[in-house]
Structure 1
Amino acid sequence: MSQDVKKYLSDPRLASYLEYTKNNLEDALELYRLNLRLVGAFFPLMSMLEVTLRNAIGHQMNNIFPDQGKGDWIEQFLKILADIKETETYIYDPFTPDINKVKKAIKKDVRDQEKILLKEELQQDKNFKHLSHEEQDKIIESKLDKEKRPDLEKKIARKINDKNIIISKLTFAFWCAIFNPDVYGTIFKGKVIEIFNFNNLAEKKEKNRETISLILNNIRHFRNRAAHNEPLIFYKQKLDLQRGELILQNIIEVLTLLSEDLKKYAEDIHLVKRHLQTIEEYCSEVKKLTV
């Protein structure tokens, strides 16, 4: 069984585990399994962090950019970025393409949903049911673009202009970039950091953009590795469980900065420490056997 599992996981993916276990496949696969469990243990915390952080930033953006007939904060933010880019030689702007990408995805989702509903409606026609999939798709697309176009455009416009839908689909990288120096001072006037209460921390830290940016980007890089099932327990081909402990600490820190209640709430939704302990114990046994 082990050889078959190795074949499907691939040699490159198992390379770090095999190197650590001195090519003992059984130990390498068990270590890989433990790493997957660690990944799973981190995701509830990361999910909670992402949701609470984006909501906190969103609320603060409403204060920084009150509507007052100028549109919601997303519209105002995009306009300010566009104006700056007309006069400045360079400004770091991942925001405009990210928001446009989300709007494009929303438009596709709405259209796909309408296609499903229309197909169900047309399936009542026996002649339609006997057509090939390609012919059915052509009829559906034609009806959407002609008969259903006004209603479809209204639905799309309503959803792509709903800031709550857009906010829910923006990536964690988007929210991390809010603390980039290019926009933090010039556009947000340093007000975004007010979502954090540094008095909540037992170990006091300086209240500044750099502190938050460093912590969030550390979490983001780790999160990306977890999302691709990369080894969280190795760093530069060496066993490193301290990094996992540091990221756990970083996540808890951000939740604490937002609210002490969030920190307490998060304590019961993860088993990261238990999995790190299990991995440490297993690695100790592996080392004894491979010496």
Structure 2
Amino acid sequence: MNINKLEQYLSPTRFNRFLQATNHSALKAEELYGANLNVAKSFYPVLNLFEIVLRNSIDISISTHFGDSDWIINQKNGFMSDKSLMASNFYLKKSIEKAQKTITNKKVTVTSGKIIAEQSFGFWTSLFETHHFKLIGGCVIQIFNNKPKHINRNIITKKLTKIREFRNRIYHNEPICFNGTNIDFTEANQVKNEIYNLLKWIDTDLATYVQNFDSIDDEILLAMNI
């Protein structure tokens, strides 16, 4: 595509950042834009698998804690309605109610499985925040049964927050190849390493499995050679 036309459709403001990082070479800016997309694309299977593993591991942990496989429905009027959650505007409860409405509008039966599938990544990571964590007896940290002893809830929360924020940048088409105006994938590498550490803390076999779908390093290397 013609560079001027590409800049028009991407917006001059967005494309200008790529121009600055490549010494205003339109050709290299276009290549870098494509390389950034390819690195972002390479994160999709890794992020997807991590999110599924985290979600299902948390579901099992909380189901065991309450002795209830339908906790995500039944606890809407349980711990999710605790008055201590007023400051968070009962985020979990409202997320469940929204999911139930969405499923009902599709004219299908509301089940725990369908509600679980409707929840955002932020829903699951929020269960490690203090106000939720204490109401479920801190059971969710038990999913990381291989973690080092010094790793506590606060450290886990920071790691999950970093991954979630990076994930959102990818899902909202924000570039992940910059540090200021410099081409830099340091953060992307850090997030990748955080994901693998957390997977290993859940089950070492998970990290091995996810690596089968991981082309992140290869795409970053191609991008850095622009």
Judge same fold: TM > 0.5, yes or no: yes
Q: Does the residue aligned with 2:87 lie in a helix, a strand or coil?
A: coil
Deviates more, 1:206-215 or 1:25-34: 206-215
1:266 Cα deviation from its structure 2 partner: 1.1
Unaligned runs of 5+ in 2: none
> How many residues align structurally?
225
Q: For residues 89 and 265 of structure 1, do their structure 2 counterparts lie closer, same or farther at Cα, with a shift above 3 Å needed?
A: closer
Q: For residues 50 and 89 of structure 1, do their structure 2 counterparts lie closer, same or farther at Cα, with a shift above 3 Å needed?
A: closer
Q: Which residue of 2 aligns with 1:119?
A: none
1:52-88 Cα shifts (integer Å, max 9, x gaps): 1101101111111113xxx821134221346422x77
Q: Does the residue aligned with 1:178 lie in a helix, a strand or coil?
A: helix
Q: For residues 238 and 96 of structure 1, do their structure 2 counterparts lie closer, same or farther at Cα, with a shift above 3 Å needed?
A: farther
1:236-266 Cα shifts (integer Å, max 9, x gaps): 4433211011010011111111111111111
CA contact under 8 A between 2:81 and 2:93: conserved in structure 1? no
Distance, in Å, in 1 between the alignment partners of 2:149 and 2:162 is 17
Q: Which residue of 1 aligns with 2:17?
A: 16
Q: Which residue of 1 aligns with 2:106?
A: 109
Q: For residues 260 and 15 of structure 1, do their structure 2 counterparts lie closer, same or farther at Cα, with a shift above 3 Å needed?
A: same
Match of 1:166 among 82, 101, 115: 115
Q: For residues 175 and 83 of structure 1, do their structure 2 counterparts lie closer, same or farther at Cα, with a shift above 3 Å needed?
A: closer
Q: For residues 91 and 13 of structure 1, do their structure 2 counterparts lie closer, same or farther at Cα, with a shift above 3 Å needed?
A: closer
Deviates more, 1:225-234 or 1:18-27: 18-27
CA contact under 8 A between 1:66 and 1:72: conserved in structure 2? no
Q: Which amino acid aligns with 2:119?
A: L
Q: Which residue of 1 aligns with 2:72?
A: 74
1:189 matched to 2:137? The reply is yes
1:246 matched to 2:195? The reply is no
Q: Which amino acid aligns with 2:124?
A: W
Q: Which amino acid aligns with 2:10?
A: L
Distance, in Å, in 1 between the alignment partners of 2:169 and 2:218 is 20
1:273 matched to 2:217? The reply is yes
What does residue range 1-291 of structure 1 map to in structure 2 within 5 Å? Answer: 1-67=2-68, 72-81=70-79, 83-85=81-83, 90-91=87-88, 93-110=90-107, 155=108, 159-160=109-110, 162-185=111-134, 187-199=135-147, 204=148, 206-282=150-226
Q: Which amino acid aligns with 1:256?
A: K
Distance, in Å, in 1 between the alignment partners of 2:196 and 2:37 is 21
1:164-186 Cα shifts (integer Å, max 9, x gaps): 1111111101001010111101x
Q: Which residue of 2 aligns with 1:130?
A: none
CA contact under 8 A between 1:92 and 1:182: conserved in structure 2? no
CA contact under 8 A between 2:80 and 2:92: conserved in structure 1? no
CA contact under 8 A between 1:219 and 1:251: conserved in structure 2? yes
What's the TM-score once normalised by structure 2's chain length?
0.92
Q: Which amino acid aligns with 1:176?
A: T
CA contact under 8 A between 2:159 and 2:194: conserved in structure 1? yes
Q: RMSD of aligned C-alpha atoms? A: 1.9
Q: Does the residue aligned with 1:90 lie in a helix, a strand or coil?
A: helix
What's the TM-score once normalised by structure 1's chain length?
0.72
